[in-house]
Structure 1
């Protein structure tokens, strides 16, 4: 009977990523099952045939394990003991397959490596390309697809006790909220209108140029454009201002600062139109 230590390691590392900063939680490492380990397995284990149905099951379990951290990000409850429970359940499920344990470990390792790479590549690519409304919708669509995988997990025998939806769970709302959390610092979240984006940019300039334009003018810009009754919008303005204050790499002169300030003021006056 297979030990599936490598399979369990994949689940453990995937779940631990969910406790890291959000950016890392979105991208479980594609190196959970290193190519060197897989190569050793391939060279030392004799090949034994498994059915397509069995391969599909291995891939499904790998996909659900890789997606588990994102399920938590979508607001689902994910059991911290999921790795051990899935590994034990998978061992019991595959005991009757008649496939040698070494071969099963090899297949599980290769499958988890592949699914991890697909997961990371999908999200890395779309987040990096999210610069327009259409691209933002594409990122949300990808997150929605992974969200459906999470919903699928809640009815899978190996995962249903470890991944659970909260009452009244709305996948569309959860996926949009998660996409926004990835993009809001850059002003690209669904709720950030062109005016909000322009005001955030102006707040960044007010921070970056503070030493050049002086405290009084920087404070005046913040008082005029950095306030909002909406807590989420206000937090975005504050973060933008802080980013500007922390930016010591770019040194603008007074003419450059004035040009940026006037440009963003004009964009705000035009309703965010560039």
Structure 2
């Protein structure tokens, strides 16, 4: 029994203990800085100017700030790294989940809502004593417009961007079939589908159509048989007729 007690005592003595009991204010500031660091790439995607030297500049400025805290630098570093990892994981889950589930109008709005939240974090960063030197919003910055543009860039490949109307989506689907089924339906029929449904006066729309064709043409997983190809062509012709003109 005494041996067990001694082993237990030694285990307690040897166990790592917190280097200091940081205040909630300190933890909140560490989390805020971590959130700004992790969100910086999104700020750039939203059209803000992000200093390429942000990591080094923030590191130096934050060390100066925390030097006034009654806490060992090693402990602050440990908490900072843990916070950055946590914020990175949160961001990854938020964006991947939202974009993967973006199928209905409500889910599409959720993507915009998440990006808008991170956009507000970017705006907070532009007012922060440290980050205002490395993240700068352009004059007249419109968060709503910036969020829409970024969401569109994430959802465009799936035909779910805000500018991709049902008429554009259905024609993009047909261009996918023209590419994926070319080896089944033959060159002439595939080219005819491209000529009929792959034209647009809008460069952005035209690029989307061509990309849908190119991606499907080179995707070995889209291996439809002739019956499936004919079914898809009939299906998307009906969808195009229902959607109307571009």
- Which piece of structure 1 moves more, 106-115 or 84-93? 106-115
Are 1:207 and 2:194 matched, yes or no? no
Matched residues in 2 for 1:232 and 1:100: separation? 54
Cα deviation 1:10-30 (Å, max 9, x = unaligned)? xxxxxxxxxxxxxxxxxxxxx
CA distance in 2, matches of 1:254, 1:188: 28
Partner of 2:34: 62
| Equivalent position to 1:130, from 102, 107, 112 | 102
Q: How far apart are 1:194 and its partner, in Å?
A: 1.3
The correspondence for 1:261, drawn from 233, 237, 246, is 233
Task: Name stretches of at least 5 consecutive residues in structure 2 with no aligned partner.
Answer: 1-14
The alignment of Structure 1 onto Structure 2 pairs a total of residues equal to 230
**Displacement of 1:214:** 1.5
3-state SS in 1 of match to 2:141: coil
Alpha-carbon shift at residue 173 of structure 1 (Å):
0.4
Please name the residue that 2:190 is paired with: 218
2:150 maps to 178
Matched residue SS, 2:243: coil
Name whichever of 97-106 and 64-73 sits farther off: 97-106
Distance in structure 1 (CA, Å) of the matches to 2:35 and 2:190: 50
Q: Which has the larger radius of gyration?
A: 2
Within 5 Å, give how 1:76-87 maps onto structure 2.
76-87=48-59
Pick the aligned partner of 1:189 from 161, 180, 191: 161
**Which residue is equivalent to 1:242?**
214
Match of 2:137 in 1: 165
SS in 2 for 1:130: coil
- 1:62–1:108 Cα contact (<8 Å) kept: yes
1:166, 1:247 → 2: CA distance? 40
2:179–2:217 CA contact under 8 A, matched in 1: yes
Deviations 1:196-239 (A, max 9, x none): 11110100001111122111111111011001111111111000
The structure 2 residue matched to 1:142, chosen from 114, 128, 133, is 114
Q: Give the CA deviation at 1:186.
A: 0.6
Q: TM-score, normalised by structure 1?
A: 0.81
Per the alignment, in what secondary structure is the counterpart of residue 119 of structure 2? helix
Q: Kindly tell me: are residues 140 and 87 of structure 1, through their superposed partners in 2, closer, same or farther at Cα, counting changes over 3 Å?
A: same
State the shift of 1:254 in Å.
2.3
1:247 deviates by 2.1
- Paired residues of 1:212 and 1:254 also in contact (CA < 8 A): yes
Question: Alpha-carbon deviations, 1:125-165, whole Å to 9, x = none?
Answer: 11111111100000100000001111111110111111001
Q: Report the aligned-residue RMSD.
A: 1.3
What's the TM-score once normalised by structure 2's chain length? 0.90
